[in-house]
Chains A and B, each alone.
Chain A
Amino acid sequence: MIPSSVREWFPILHQEINGHPLVYLDNAATSQKPRQVIDAVKRYYEWENSNVHRGVHTLGSRATDAYEGAREKVARFINAESAEQIIFNRGTTVGLNLVASSYARSVCGPGDEIVLTEMEHHSNLIPWQQAALATGATLKYIPLQPDGTIRVEDVEQTVTDRTKLVAIAYVSNVMGVVHPVKQIAEIAHRHGAVIVVDGAQSTPHMKVDVQELGIDFYAFSGHKMCAPTGIGALYGKKELLNRMEPIEFGGEMINDVGLYESNWKELPWKFEGGTPIIAGAVGLGAAIDFLEEIGLDAIEQHETKLAAYAMNRLSEIEGIRLHGPRERKVGLVTFNLGDVHPHDVATVLDAQGIAIRAGHHCCQPLMRWLKESSTARASFYLYNTEEDIDRLVSALIQTKEYFGDAT
């Protein structure tokens, strides 16, 4: 159970937008931040701020302890084998780009295959396109079912001995589908390929155990899970990370620097050139403490319940097109309201204090597959309630009336 007081911890939720109490339903884009995280970042800047891994002075040690302590928390949170397998970065996009630029480009050659789905976020698509263009590898797509799910037998068909890498989101940011990542990992491994999982939409909402899933790389962002923007992490299997060359060079990441050649620190620091996002990491650590105190299982249950409620209520609206499977675990609903353009829907909702996302959600290929130029998306988090969904539904009904025969 999520304590009903949870909303009290999120200062931003207690305001009016355009004369109405804010209903924030754009959590798949970014979540709001609880007092605990805001205070942790403030405390860091007021008491611990210094650069890491170099200061002999006391603040240098405090900052290093805070930063590395956050790494330990992340490792425990996703059950990584060790903290050195957690590379801090700016977010999911950066983590996926590192794997594509370093790992994929070193293992792929002409005729090799990288396997994806058409549903991937641009950040889990374009890095692989670029790697394929650079290496001569081919991109292959696992076919989608009409409801946006994928079948394990289709994965079996698509992955071959030429496949070097399978890249897939654990949870789709548009369709709300949870992919069978554990089974896909087994298939990939049977063919000698590695699996890279985009965890942007799964990490905030469900318990993730990278060892239990048997995945090789896992990238996620802090800002979708109550942490500040600008911090994220990449997990990788140790032997793979050890084999990979850094792609950013400079301070913090070096061991020995000569005039003509240099070598690198050990994991994870060889991938963290430059002064890292220390306050962001501290905020991410505080967000993990916050989420663990409430419990990921409780959060998942809460969102599953909200998703079912939202699907039921929304399907009552005449002319609405709900995308993705009817049954869903994650709190995310994507839809089109008749012929009313999603931008117009979002503007009318905003006038009533309701924040949703409208557009292509960084998934242009998926929009083409859906045959929609854009869609509207409401996405929920631990602080959302059934009343929020009731307000969404009544605002959508008013939107339909406002646009009259356009629906």
Chain B
Amino acid sequence: MQLDDLYRRVIMDHYKNPRNRGKFEDDAVTVDLNNPTCGDRISLQLKIDHGVVSDAMYTGEGCSISMSSASMMTDAVKGKSLGEALELASRFSALMQGEPVEFEEYEDIEALSGVNKFPARIKCATLAWNALRKGIESEQ
């Protein structure tokens, strides 16, 4: 088992220098999700204008995998239509199943492919994406 497969430099960078961390001051679609088995929690906020995610932010507590995943996800979905964002979420699920998926529009996400070899950590990586799905579904 190679730890560096899991903790790639890109992941540690998102963990230590999170993007989009914080809260919007005005109204936004807000999803609070936690992982009851481990205590990780995320509060995701989406700005949705005319069917497009115009902006996204998050706050939360969790391990390097869950928080870096939230950082990448919020970056990746900005400017995407709701359909495109859901499609990204599906591709992320496939990545967690070990399928060779590419994220040409946001390559950082591919760094999380190693999580697949650490089954106990998959739920950490998917927390933010599950929150995204929930937020979009609440708007549809």
Contacts and interface: CB of A to CB of B under 8 A. Distances in A.
Interface of A: 18-19, 341-344, 347-348, 350-351, 358-360, 364, 367, 373-374, 402-403, 405-406
Nearest to B35: A359
A367 B124 CA distance: 19
Contacts of B124: 343
Nearest to A361: B39
A360 B63 contact: no
Given A347-B118, A359-B38, A406 B62 contact: no
Nearest to B3: A351
B15 A374 contact: no
B61 interface: yes
Given A403-B64, A406-B15, 18 more contacts: A18-B1, A19-B1, A341-B63, A343-B63, A343-B121, A344-B65, A347-B6, A347-B118, A351-B1, A351-B3, A358-B38, A367-B39, A373-B40, A373-B61, A402-B7, A405-B16, A406-B16, A406-B64
Contacts of A364: 39
B121 A347 contact: yes
B39 A374 contact: yes
Contacts of B121: 343, 347
Interface of B: 1, 3, 6-7, 12, 15-16, 37-41, 61-65, 118, 120-121, 124
A15 to B, nearest CB: 14
A406 B16 CA distance: 7
A360 B121 CA distance: 16
A236 B136 CA distance: 52
A93 to B, nearest CB: 16
B16 A360 contact: no
Given A343-B121, A343-B124, A406-B16, A373 B39 contact: yes
